[in-house]
Structure 1
């Protein structure tokens, strides 16, 4: 059993109390660029805690993408908290999102807000060959203990992640290990990464820690906190640069 198989269930149990298995297919809603054919790129939208499928459209993300003219189809996924709590998120992302689409698109990007940000990172970590880009908006990035260790080391560049994987204590260490690698010497085919957050977000400590290890063009900030008004501003900034259509 590989380290992902050990750590992932532990991570999901830490994100919520144990519950009965939820293995229902994830409800999805597709927004195609054209009614006649698929676009070149698929953008998968993962919701935050308390949000459900349709929330991105409600807040104008789909309409803004359409107005940009980019060659993109969008897929909202109802990856709600129950899938994290029941430890089935990765199975469902594989069966309901990645497997049905990987042969039909040149690239798959994941957009995740808050809880959806850690879902996007977990997906990229678990299925690295299936994810070409990540847009993380105010993502949850792990425990205060791990953040403190990185800070005390002098930042992401100076931090040396432990060599050993220690079950229950290692899930966010593994996520940060991946982020460190992506920020320094990305492997061929490593996903592109964009981080966006409000400067008054309650998670700004973690966001700034990651931002310090990224190139300036990979980071976008705006006034505001952990709110859709902030994320809408950031989304429109990103679309103006058209990185997903590159």
Structure 2
């Protein structure tokens, strides 16, 4: 397994208690686009030193269900060896699925997830979940693939337990083709953890949503047990 591309952008702010923010692109998005679209600059504008690593896994890792192992071996474990204590994942579209799959396998390794228009599963699965009432305990039986079962099963349990870590932030556009699934997740998140706007599955929506979520100070250290009250 290999990571095809990794671009690192260190925060100009000094400090030892640094955040490593790993940005994961969706299919067809290149790593360099995050900086070109202002995503990295926005992260660096926070009053916390946020170092950014844009990591572009080979698409085959998603198809072969190997993205979690690749992220752990090539990104998270090396970051721990470099003394990063605070690691966040930001995923767009398929990258959001990658972030959730990683969290489902290694929930204690990441402090938070920022999901921008995440791919949560097939349209058929999302429709079945909506008919069943949302992200409830029966979610595993409705998921149609093994990755969906792990991702959605962990997500349902995480929200039900009101776990404080990893924190979840969601941003999506109302006209996004994956919006039906996004709305199911938004129903379970606190308003402070969700941003929604008009738009589609594209950079103008994602960059605006990212900037809006940053106004919620996601990287501010939180007291233990602070979940902002996930909804049941």
TM-score between both structures, scaled by the size of structure 2: 0.85
Match in the other structure for 1:4: none
Task: Return the offset for 1:149.
Answer: 2.6
Specify the structure having the higher radius of gyration (Cα). Answer: 1
User: What is the match of residue 125 of structure 2?
Assistant: 146
Please tell me whether the aligned partners of residues 26 and 96 of structure 1 are also in contact (alpha carbons under 8 angstroms).
Answer: no
Residue equivalent to 1:101: 79
List aligned pairs for 1:68-217, cutoff 5 A. Answer: 68-103=46-81, 104-157=83-136, 159-162=137-140, 169-187=145-163, 190-217=165-192
Distance in 2 separating the partners of 1:25 and 1:62: 20
Match of 1:227 in 2: 202
- Provide the secondary structure at the position in 1 that maps to 2:90: strand
| Shift >6 Å, 4+ stretches | none
SS of the residue 1:242 aligns to: coil
How large is the RMSD of aligned CA atoms in angstroms? 2.3
- Counterpart secondary structure, 2:87: strand
Residues 36 and 229 of structure 1, relative CA distance in 2, 3 Å threshold: same
**Corresponding residue pairs, total:** 220
Instruction: Show the counterpart of 2:227.
Output: none
- What pairs up with 1:36-55 in 2 under 5 angstroms? 40-55=18-33
| Offset of residue 36 of structure 1 | 7.0
Aligned-pair CA distance for 1:37 = 6.4
Quick one: structure 1 residues 195 and 131, their matched pair in 2 at CA, closer, same or farther if it must change by over 3 Å?
same
Normalising by structure 1, we get a TM-score of 0.81
Q: Is the 8 A contact 1:107 1:131 kept in 2?
A: yes
Bigger relative contact order (CA 8 A; separation at least 6): 1
Q: d(CA) in 2 for partners of 1:122 and 1:113?
A: 13
Moved more, 38-47 or 118-127: 38-47
Structure 1: gaps spanning 5 or more residues:
1-22
| C-alpha spacing 1:38/1:82, structure 2 compared with 1 (3 Å) | farther
